[in-house]
Every structure is written in C-alpha cells, then in structure tokens.
Amino acid sequence: AQRPYVIDEMISAKAIAARIEDLCREIHDEFDGTDKLIVVGLLRGSFVFIADLVRELDLPIEVDFLEASSYGDAMESSREVRILKDLRGAIEGRDVLVVEDIVDTGHTLHHVTNLLRSREPKRLKSIALLDKPTRREVDLKADWTGFEIPDEFVVGYGIDFAQRNRNLPFIGKVRFT
Ligand code: PRP
Ligand code: MN
Ligand code: MG
C-alpha cells in the first residue's frame, strides 16, 4: 500500500493556461508556414498538456502519440526507456513537435528524440511543460519549457504518482504525512 500523502498546489491551472498562450506564440513563429505540423504526445503523461496546447495553436496540425515508459509505478527512473506504442504515421521529411509533460533525468526525451531523428524528419523540436534541471543525467534541454521547478515529486495535469492523480487540473507536489 502507498504511504499516506497530501498534495500541495504548486502551479495553478490559470498559470499553466497563461504560460501555454506564450509558448504557442513562440511555436507559431517557429513553424509559421508549415504545410502540416505533426504534434507527437508522449503517453501517458502528456495527454492533458497536448490537449490544451493544440487547441491554442493556430497552425495546420496532425496529432500522433508514442507511448514511452521508464518509471512504471516507482518514484525513481529505471533509466530504461521502453517504447510501448509507436507512432501511427511516418515523419520523414515532416515538421515534428514532441510534447512531454516533464523532463527529469532526461532519459525519456533523449531516447525518444534520438529515435525520431533517425527517421529523418525535416525539423524536430520538443516542448516540455516542466523541467527539473537539477536532476538531469543526460545533457539535453527541450526547445521550449513551461516552468523550471525544484526537485519535488509533482503530480497532476497528466502526471501520475503510481498511476494516480493524473486528472488534477493543476500541478501539485506530493508531501508525505
Ligand atoms: C514520466 C514523465 C516523463 C518522464 C520523465 O513518464 O511523464 O515522460 O517520466 O522522466 P525522465 O526525464 O527521468 O525520463 P513515465 O515513465 O512515468 O510514464 P507515464 O508518462 O506513462 O507516466
Ligand atoms: Mn511520461
Ligand atoms: Mg509516470
């Protein structure tokens, strides 16, 4: 059984929405004129972020998903990224934006961007809502980051703790009681 914990709000739904508006302006400038941008969400954590992001993005897009997992139900990264579900479509010669909820050790985004780059997209960019730079184990940074956060265990807005709390509308931090 899980140790008892409470969740303290860290980033409000309103602050997230405001930040997404800014990010979308920058993404729009980068991809302006694209014939079709393929927005790739990394399941499962990014499902809320990608839903809000694409609705704010005024560009011709296609949405695809790739499922990667390294934490399972643990609090610590396994450092072994498993691809559980691949993209449905080809990305060769296309503009691609990878959407991630959080970059922690960096292993997941590193593994996925290497995999997608090997398929020779025209342009490959990445965005993460959250970044925990102090935890990094591989040298990488998303092209856009929503918020840099300290080393706290966060949940909500798609992010789970042992598969729970993904449906919280805000980002919270776990505090054991
Ligand atoms: C979490 C999170 C990121 C990744 C970040 O995914 O959603 O994808 O870990 O950690 P890293 O930078 O240390 O690799 P998880 O493996 O828990 O799968 P999930 O998205 O299905 O929850
Ligand atoms: Mn994930
Ligand atoms: Mg997880």
pLDDT at 72: 79
Q: Please tell me the pTM assigned to this model.
A: 0.96
Nearest atom within ligand 1 for CA of residue 45: 20
Whether 34 is in the pocket of ligand 1, judged by its Cβ within 6 Å, is no
- What is the residue with the minimal CA distance to atom 17 of ligand 1? 71
**Contact assessment for residue 169 and residue 156, using Cβ atoms and an 8 Å cutoff:** yes
> Could you say which of 3.90.550.10, 3.40.50.10800, 3.40.50.1370, 3.40.50.2020 is the CATH number of the domain covering 5-176?
3.40.50.2020
Terminal-residue alpha carbon distance, the chain? 14
Most informative mutation of 102, 136, 149, 165 for ligand 1 (most atoms within 8 A of CB): 102
Q: Which element (helix H / strand E) includes 30? A: helix 13-31
Each residue's pLDDT expressed in tens, for the chain with a length of 177 residues:
689 999 999 999 999 999 999 999 999 999 999 999 999 999 999 999 999 999 999 999 999 999 998 887 888 888 889 999 999 999 999 999 999 999 999 999 999 999 999 999 999 999 999 999 999 999 999 999 999 999 999 999 999 999 999 999 999 999 999
- Which of 104, 139, 143, 160 is catalytic? The answer is 104
Report strand pairing: 95-103 vs 82-85.
unpaired
Whether 108 is in the pocket of ligand 1, judged by its Cβ within 6 Å, is yes
Is residue 95 part of the annotated active site? The answer reads no
Whether 131 is in the pocket of ligand 1, judged by its Cβ within 6 Å, is no
Angle 13-31/47-56 helices, nearest 10 degrees? Answer: 60
Report strand pairing: 144-148 vs 61-69.
unpaired
* Cβ-count burial 20-37 (b if 16+ within 10 Å, e if not): beebbeebeebbeebeeb
Whether 103 is in the pocket of ligand 1, judged by its Cβ within 6 Å, is yes
Domain boundaries, the chain: 5-176
pLDDT at 2: 81
Q: Which element (helix H / strand E) includes 42? A: strand 37-43
pLDDT digits (tens, 9 = 90+) for 64-112: 999 998 887 888 888 889 999 999 999 999 999 999 999 999 999 999 9
